[in-house]
Amino acid sequence: MEDDTVIRLISHNDADGISAAAVIANALAEENVQFHATLVPRLKEEMVNQLRSEKHDLFIFSDMGSPFIKEFNTYKHDVIVADHHQVNDTEAESNVVHVNPHLFGVDGSKDLCGAGSAYLTVRDLDKKHLAYYALVGAFGDMQGQEGFTGVNKLILDDALESGNLEIHEGLKIVSKSTEPIFKSLAYTFSPPLPGISGDLEGAREFLERMNLSYGIKFTDLEDEEKDLLKDALININPDIFGNCYTVVKESPMLRDLEEYSYILDACGKNKKQGLGLSIALGEKDQALDAALRLQRQYRDQIVKGLEWVKKEGAQQLNSIQYLYSEDKLLKSIMGTIASIGLSVELLDDSKPVLGLSRLHKDIKISGRTTRDMVAKGVNLGKALQDSSNNFGGTGGGHDIAAGAMIPYDSKDNFLHLVDEMVEYQLNSD
């Protein structure tokens, strides 16, 4: 490549998208190639058209781009799309490299994430030491929680082989060395601890019943106290004890891959995705302090949001349920509390849940369901895509988690249409 070449990188602004950008940006930096990165909440047609006129020899889209292959085919420059969302029928022309698990019959909602696709595009440049970023992305997209499967498993093997990653058994509670233990437990949403996750009061009472001091950090407990706690938590959810993945050379806050993904997620949710990317590119100290502050604030918002769900409950339709609020705080975390509300049993897990937040004249929808419901035929990506199209909106995603944007005034009609579609999916097996 020419020395003055700048590669254009566009990625999603969530934990998976930031990890995807980190894989590619780190790989390019190591090859002394300059890049210009932009992280966005979604790829829109106008952006795809606007990028066309930028003078770059290579455009890379990570954790997004699969729906726009047709447009990229007409670019005068080379394009790499490393995505894992559902694909359409457009074949890539010779200027476009399209990396997507769905093209190879691999499930992009559980066996490979956006950062994983990004990793596969640079892997052959001798980049196995970057594999762990792909696994951070997998955790960010809820793919590693029950162990890595499919292509993720191969990426895990790369990470272990590179010597960067170690696996040990432990309690999968967050912030063991930074937060008092009742907060560690209340902020642990995956695996879920019903009655404790998202419930500071519930976590305190649980610890008091065992005569454990709730104000100290997990790392400061005596060994027998740790064992006592471990046994009690395993009774609530056996998944709480299992494989922990650590990157030994990382700074202590980022050693645990799942913890790393939460920090990136908090950056993305607070529109500070650039901060997340700079941490993943090696800036620590102040950047990390700022990110941890955001994370603390974000976790407190989730706890407040779950209190609201507990109090208000979801609005029920025949086959789906939904959460709606115009409260500024709740709007910003609607997708997250929909997802956690399902897993900690605050919501009925036999119905997909849609979290709705109003943005001026539009409504943003985040849909979540369970693996059980997917096995019964639910495909939220398809339901939200088809329903939103009817109202001049956009939508899509995975079978288990999907999103949409629709005009505000179509809200009720849209909800009824999604309800009918999900009912149809459940009955058409």
Which among 134, 128, 87 is positioned nearest to 113, based on CA atoms?
134
Asked if residue 326 has pLDDT above 90, the reply is no
- pLDDT over 90, % of the chain: 85
Indicate whether 267 belongs to any domain: no
* pLDDT of 255 above 90: yes
Q: Give percent above pLDDT 70 in the chain.
A: 99
Task: Quote the pLDDT of residue 144.
Answer: 83
Same domain, 291 and 143: no
**Predicted local confidence at residue 3, as pLDDT:** 53
CA neighbours closer than 13 Å in the CB half-sphere of residue 36: 11
Q: Does 271 map to a domain?
A: no
Q: Are residues 286 and 379 in the same domain?
A: no
Alpha carbon 120 to its chain's center: 19
pLDDT class of 96 with cuts at 50, 70, 90: very high
Does one domain contain both 289 and 322?
A: no
Co-location of 140 and 232 in the same domain: no
Find the mean pLDDT for residues 361-390: 94
Q: The domain spanning residue 322 has which CATH number?
A: 3.10.310.40
Q: What tokens appear for 298 in the block?
A: 């974000």
pLDDT higher than threshold 90 for residue 252? no
**Is 1 a member of any domain?**
no
Please provide the DSSP assignment of 48-103 as one string.
HHHHHTS--SEEEEES--GGGHHHHTT-SSEEEEE--S---SPPP-TTEEEE-GGG
Quick check: is 349 in a domain?
yes
Q: Are 317 and 301 members of one domain?
A: no
pLDDT, position 285: 84
Instruction: Establish if 172 belongs to a structural domain.
Output: no
Same domain as 123, residue 41: yes
Which domain, by its residues, includes 337?
313-427
- Of 115, 130, 163, which residue constitutes the final position of a domain? 163
Q: Is the pLDDT of residue 341 over 80?
A: yes
Could you tell me if 11 and 129 lie in one domain? yes
- Where residue 177 falls among pLDDT bands split at 50, 70, 90? confident
More confident residue, 359 or 279: 279
Structure tokens at 182: 């009742």
- If asked whether residues 10 and 142 sit together in one domain, one would say yes
Helix (H, G, I), strand (E, B) or coil at 193: coil
Q: What is the mean pLDDT of residues 224-230?
A: 96
Residue 300 backbone dihedrals phi, psi, to 5 degrees: -65, -35
Cis peptide before 67 (omega within 30 of 0): no
Average pLDDT, the chain: 93
272 in a domain, yes or no? no
Q: What is the pLDDT of residue 360?
A: 87
Cα 348 to chain centroid distance, Å, stands at 22
**Three-class SS of residue 125?**
helix
**Largest Cα–Cα distance in the chain?**
68
Least-confidence region, from 81-90, 139-148, 262-271, 383-392: 139-148
Co-location of 148 and 204 in the same domain: no
Tell me whether residue 106 is in a domain: yes
Together in a domain, 293 and 352? no
C-alpha 280/C-alpha 288 separation (Å) is 10
Report the pLDDT value the prediction gives residue 429, as an integer from 0 to 100.
Answer: 63
- Asked whether residue 10 is domain-assigned, the answer is yes
CATH of the domain at 37: 3.90.1640.30
Buried b or exposed e, range 302-338, using 16+ CB within 10 angstroms: bbebbbbbeeeebeebebbbbbbbeeeebbbbbbbbb
Q: How many domains does the chain have?
A: 3
Print burial letters for 198-231: b (CB count within 10 Å at least 16), e (below 16). bbbebbbebbeeeebebeeebeebeeebbeebee
Return d(Cα 154, Cα 385) in angstroms, integer: 31
**190: which DSSP letter?**
S
- Gap between the Cα atoms of 392 and 73, Å rounded: 25
Cβ-Cβ contacts under 8 Å for 201 (sequence gap 6 or more)? none
Examine the domain organization and report whether 92 and 187 are in the same domain.
Answer: no
For residues 227 and 126, membership in a common domain is answered with no
